[in-house]
Amino acid sequence: ASQDELKAAYRRLCMLYHPDKHRDPELKTQAERLFNLVHQAYEVLSDPQTRAIYDIYGRRGLEMEGWEVVERRRTAAEIREEFERLQREREERRLQQRTNPKGTISVGIDATDLFDRYDEEYEDVPGSSFPQIEINKMHISQSIEAPLTSTDTAILSGNLSTQNGNGGGSINLALRRVTSAKGWGELEFGAGDLHGPLFGLKIFRNLTPRCFITTNCALQFSSRGVRPGLTTVLARNLDKNTMGYLQWRWGIQSAMNTSIVRDTKTSHFTVAMQLGIPHSFMMVSYQHKFQDEDQTRVKGSLKVGFFGTIVEYGAERKISRHSVLGATVSVGVPQGVSLKIKLNRASQTYFFPVHLTDQLLPSAVFYATVGPLVIYFAMHRLVIKPYLRAQKERELEKQRESTASDILQKKQEAEAAVRLMQESVRRIIEAEEARMGLIVVNAWYGKFVNDNSRKNEKVKVIDVTVPLQCLVKDSKLILTEASKAGLPGFYDPCVGEEKSLKVLYQFRGVLHQVMSADNEALRIPKQ
């Protein structure tokens, strides 16, 4: 708002709430309180420095001590720069204390006995009527980061793996230094009970604003001698949403790989080709991103190579604020049919690959596809949805309790403002009727329930006909993009819940109706 707009609004509200305009003792008292609030607001917003503090910190900033030592010559931009500098320093302090843990737990399940068993071989074996499902492999990895300075970070990681009773593990320490805005380098030291010591060097460098290169050199020591390895990746932005990658790997499993990845708001597409020893393949994958609240994604891929052919399809969905659940069906020759279930919880990943059969059995494909869907929708309806609803209710109840006294005060102020507006509204309506202008017939603000699926929820609205009519000027009503709970004569009837404004108005003798979201700008009459 410009200074002229502030002055105009201040004058209008002063005329509305001035104590001398009201003879009734009770209205006079209420007018004095609201008049003082308007005066305080104008004092803050008319001063460039206090307005800048309010814009950045809100009301708390005005109550903070120490602002008197700030030079009065500072502009709003300088105050904002100072605030952003303090924010950066605080983030750096937080960074030094952060460990950023990441982990993966993978449990491989062998369920081939469900589909591949032959009954005639098990007829004489006791307990053979029950298929045997067993865990045949596990993998656990974890890493933590420890910032040493603003440019140096230590990364400690470890992993344990076991398969069919045999396994091992390793531990790695990496030291990363950011050398400039264009690159960083990393030294890695590792040791394990299967491969022996490992020494590695990784370098990342931005060659141009649209191109970067990563090189990873490693020396693996074992009983067979030293095995060197080198991996280089060159990447380039082909356009705003597309990246191209060229990878060359020499040493263990040498290969050349090229891929193109296109990622947009609604889709993710990848095409890749690799020539190598022992694996060469071509791969195409596509993922569609639905723009819904649960961030649902459906994906499919085809991979053809010397090892055979694999077709994968699946979906993933957000089930809570920090959790994403996904399932993928893999059908391949000669791999068979597998079901892969993955749960991402914050920075932790839980992965459960279930091998169903070594053959291409339609029954295995059917159950791998339909089974997870049935289980998910049953769990979502019977467990997840009620739990999230109860959690939301608890949070709302907690929020209502913490803001109850403040909301009560706002309600009293709004009711007082409505009483003080009555005379002004009567004059505005008379003027609008004379010119066949804008007359607010009815207006409600709060939570509306129009959907049949939410019919059990309670409607929570307040009548704001008078406050809205009071805002009409020259047969126009203009509301900006901000919560309407802060308008004169308004208050929040349902803290923490979605709110709307519904207006029934008359213009040029014709009735109209409009519905507006809480933070949506509104201008009536519509053009």
pLDDT in tens, 8-57: 889 888 888 888 887 788 888 888 888 888 998 999 898 888 888 787 77
Q: Which residues contact 375 (CB under 8 A, 6 or more apart)?
A: none
Predicted local confidence at residue 303, as pLDDT: 95
| Phi then psi dihedrals of residue 278, to 5 deg | -95, 0
Average pLDDT, the chain: 86
Q: Are 263 and 248 in contact (CB under 8 A)?
A: no
**Cα separation of 299 and 317, whole Å?**
12
**Cα separation of 127 and 132, whole Å?**
10
Per the DSSP assignment, residues forming a β-bridge with 330 are 312, 338
Q: DSSP character for 227? A: E
Per the DSSP assignment, residues forming a β-bridge with 171 are 158, 191
**Cα separation of 95 and 522, whole Å?**
42
**Cα separation of 387 and 381, whole Å?**
10
**Cα separation of 204 and 182, whole Å?**
8
* End-to-end Cα spacing for the chain: 24
Q: Are 291 and 264 in contact (CB under 8 A)?
A: no
Predicted local confidence at residue 514, as pLDDT: 93
Predicted local confidence at residue 69, as pLDDT: 40
**Cα separation of 160 and 167, whole Å?**
7
Nearest CA to 462 among 487, 432, 427, 426?
A: 487
pTM reported for the whole predicted model: 0.63
Joined tokens for residue 526 = 């519509």
Nearest CA to 395 among 345, 320, 453, 455?
A: 320
Q: What is the CA radius of gyration of the chain?
A: 33
**Cα separation of 472 and 194, whole Å?**
79
Q: Which residues contact 371 (CB under 8 A, 6 or more apart)?
A: 339
Distance of CA 256 to the CA centre of its chain: 36
Predicted local confidence at residue 71, as pLDDT: 47
Tallying the residues shown for the chain, one arrives at 527
Residue ranges of the chain whose pLDDT lies below 50: 67-73, 119-120, 122, 453
CB atoms within 10 A of CB 30: 21
Q: Report the b/e string of 191-223 with b at 16+ CB within 10 A.
A: ebeeebebebebebeeeeeeebbbbbbbebeee
* Alpha-carbon distance values, 408 to 401, 413, 414, 422, 491 (Å): 11, 9, 10, 22, 9
Joined tokens for residue 22 = 């009201």
Q: Are 249 and 233 in contact (CB under 8 A)?
A: no
Nearest CA to 491 among 428, 420, 403?
A: 403
